[in-house]
């Protein structure tokens, strides 16, 4: 039995690797294929009447690990300098405003159809559908032009962060309490301060440790700091963002004298190795998460007609809002419009809704349908968007006012 399980797991992960390799040619996001593969495995085990333990409890664990590693992997590739000011400003605008608009529109729809529902509970149930999943968006943008890929990384990572911050604020506080705003602002400032201190410490350790095992302890410390911050309801993803951006831009920090104490030459070498290990760990956890999620899909949940209309409405509304925001911010519309998938972060937020606040309409069927529909939009958008010169020369920018960006 043990050998059979090992064979199945290794085979599934090798298929995941093949899906990742062929994604650039097929334009089919590997996530869709992983979900189908996981679902097909479930049907096979049902036919064979095999005993399968309850794996649902593993989903939040793999999801949290995946979220941390995906955001870290994406931010390590970002270049931060004066030429990126416009890009960052557009990314903040394009990530935050759609979350707010879609959340309030969906919340008011919930209130209209469910009399007596409070605004707090309505927003708590709406927010999980309003956030872009960086777990799907970042890998899907890998084959776009450099500038577009960089924008998607910033936008989706910031969307995750804003989504988590807003969800924690709304779910844990009352909107009509002025102290809630002060408390959230204080938590944000504390997290930023802790993030900078922890980043300097981890960078020092990364550059100074000469033992053959150095990257696993660093990753474990990152996970530990994130977990402790979450325990105290702090916006922990900010730490991941700051840590990744600073490590990925060590050369830009040479002008600060205190940075010379970190042995920058040695640190640069170690950061390159750290990026490689983080990238491989990200692939492994992401593949396991979506395989498991696909395995846990019930066909009846997928075909639930009661929630299908809501799912279509959410996806279409999200696309309309995204198109308007992109026009206002003068961001390239195609194929960027379609890269707004729902996935890992949405599942985590959905699972975080306490039973007392959860409404019957917001269930696993609705979340699953929204994820699959948004992934289908992403897939067909990438397939039917013709390759332009930017993707061939890798030199196109998001707008004519930005300078070309270089990630790798």
DSSP state of 76: H
Confidence check: pLDDT of 400 > 60: no
pLDDT in tens, 299-335: 888 889 999 999 999 999 999 999 999 999 999 898 8
pLDDT of the residue at 386: 57
As given in the structure block, the two tokens for residue 83 are 């030429």
**Arithmetic mean of pLDDT, 137-158:** 87
Which residues are CB-contacts of 348 (< 8 A; sequence separation ≥ 6)?
A: 60, 63, 64, 67
pLDDT of the residue at 387: 53
As given in the structure block, the two tokens for residue 207 are 């550059």
Confidence check: pLDDT of 180 > 70: no
Lowest mean pLDDT among 145-149, 171-175, 263-267: 171-175
Confidence check: pLDDT of 196 > 80: yes
pLDDT in tens, 30-67: 888 999 999 999 999 989 888 888 898 899 999 899 88
DSSP string, 344-378: HHHHHHHHTS-TTT--TTSSHHHHHHHHHHHHHHH
Confidence check: pLDDT of 227 > 90: yes
Average per-residue pLDDT for the chain: 86
d(CA 132, CA 325): 14
d(CA 336, CA 225): 33
Confidence bin at 250 (pLDDT 50/70/90) = confident
d(CA 168, CA 162): 10
pLDDT of the residue at 18: 95
Answer for the pair 391, 143: CB distance below 8 angstroms, yes or no.
yes
**Arithmetic mean of pLDDT, 161-188:** 76
pLDDT of the residue at 188: 86
d(CA 15, CA 291): 11
**Arithmetic mean of pLDDT, 363-387:** 88
Confidence bin at 28 (pLDDT 50/70/90) = confident
pLDDT of the residue at 165: 82
* CA 329 remoteness from chain centre: 22
Answer for the pair 18, 34: CB distance below 8 angstroms, yes or no.
no
pLDDT of the residue at 16: 95
Q: What residue ranges in 215-335 does DSSP mark as E strands?
A: none
As given in the structure block, the two tokens for residue 245 are 């951006």
Confidence check: pLDDT of 275 > 50: yes
**Arithmetic mean of pLDDT, 211-220:** 91
pLDDT of the residue at 111: 96
pLDDT of the residue at 156: 93
Q: Which CATH number fits domain 55-393: 1.20.1530.20, 3.60.20.10, 3.30.2310.20, 3.40.50.2000?
A: 1.20.1530.20
Rounded to two decimals, what is the model's pTM?
0.84
DSSP string, 15-63: HHHHHHHHHHHH---HHHHHHHHHHHHHHHHHHHT------TTHHHHHH
Confidence check: pLDDT of 183 > 70: yes
pLDDT in tens, 117-129: 999 999 999 999 9
Which residues are CB-contacts of 138 (< 8 A; sequence separation ≥ 6)?
A: 70, 73, 74, 152, 153, 156, 157
- The values of phi and psi at residue 360, to 5°, are -55, -35
Q: What percentage of the chain reaches a pLDDT higher than 70?
A: 89
Answer for the pair 322, 368: CB distance below 8 angstroms, yes or no.
no
Q: Give the C-alpha distances (Å, rounded to integers) separating 68 from 71, 155, 161, 195, 251.
A: 5, 16, 11, 14, 24
Confidence check: pLDDT of 282 > 80: yes
Q: Give the C-alpha distances (Å, rounded to integers) separating 125 from 24, 76, 258.
A: 35, 32, 46
Largest CA distance in the chain: 65
**Arithmetic mean of pLDDT, 173-201:** 80
Nearest residue to 219 via CA among 393, 68, 405:
68
Q: What percentage of the chain reaches a pLDDT higher than 90?
A: 49
Q: Which burial class, exposed, middle or buried, applies to 82 when counting CB atoms under 10 A from its CB (0-12, 13-18, 19+)?
A: exposed
């Amino acid at each position: 039995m043990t050998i059979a399980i090992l064979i199945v797991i290794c085979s599934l992960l090798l298929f995941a690797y093949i899906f990742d390799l062929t994604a650039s040619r097929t334009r089919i996001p590997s996530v869709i294929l992983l979900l189908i593969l996981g679902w097909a495995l479930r049907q096979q085990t049902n036919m064979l009447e095999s005993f399968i333990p309850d794996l649902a409890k593993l989903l939040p664990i793999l999801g949290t690990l995946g979220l941390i590693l995906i955001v870290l992997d994406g931010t390590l590739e970002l270049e931060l300098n004066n030429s990126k000011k416009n890009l960052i400003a557009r990314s903040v605008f394009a990530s935050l405003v759609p979350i707010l608009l879609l959340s309030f529109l969906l919340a008011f729809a919930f209130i209209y159809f469910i009399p007596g529902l409070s605004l707090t509970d309505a927003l708590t149930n709406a927010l999980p559908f309003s956030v872009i999943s960086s777990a799907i968006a970042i890998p899907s943008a890998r084959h776009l032009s450099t500038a577009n890929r960089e924008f998607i990384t910033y936008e989706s990572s910031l969307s995750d962060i804003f989504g988590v911050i807003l969800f924690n604020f709304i779910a844990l506080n009352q909107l009509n309490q002025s102290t809630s705003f002060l408390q959230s602002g204080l938590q944000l400032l504390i997290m930023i301060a802790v993030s900078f201190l922890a980043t300097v410490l981890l960078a020092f350790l990364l550059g100074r440790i000469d033992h053959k095992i150095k990257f696993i302890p660093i990753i474990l410390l990152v996970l530990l700091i994130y977990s402790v911050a979450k325990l105290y309801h702090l916006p922990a993803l900010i730490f991941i963002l700051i840590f990744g951006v600073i490590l990925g831009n060590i050369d830009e920090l040479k002008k600060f004298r205190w940075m010379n104490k970190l042995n920058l030459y040695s640190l640069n070498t170690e950061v390159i190795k750290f990026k490689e290990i983080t990238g491989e760990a990200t692939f492994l956890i992401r593949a396991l998460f979506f395989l498991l999620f696909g395995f846990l899909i019930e066909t009846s949940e997928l075909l639930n007609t009661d929630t299908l209309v809501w799912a279509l409405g959410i996806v279409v509304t999200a696309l309309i809002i995204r198109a308007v925001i992109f026009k206002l911010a003068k961001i390239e519309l195609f194929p960027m419009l379609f890269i707004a998938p729902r996935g890992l972060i949405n599942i985590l937020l959905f699972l975080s809704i306490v039973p007392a606040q959860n409404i019957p309409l917001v269930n696993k069927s609705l979340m699953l349908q929204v994820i699959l529909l948004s992934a289908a939009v992403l897939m067909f958008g990438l397939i039917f968007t013709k390759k332009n010169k930017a993707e061939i020369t890798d030199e196109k920018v998001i707008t004519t006012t930005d300078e070309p960006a270089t990630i790798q």
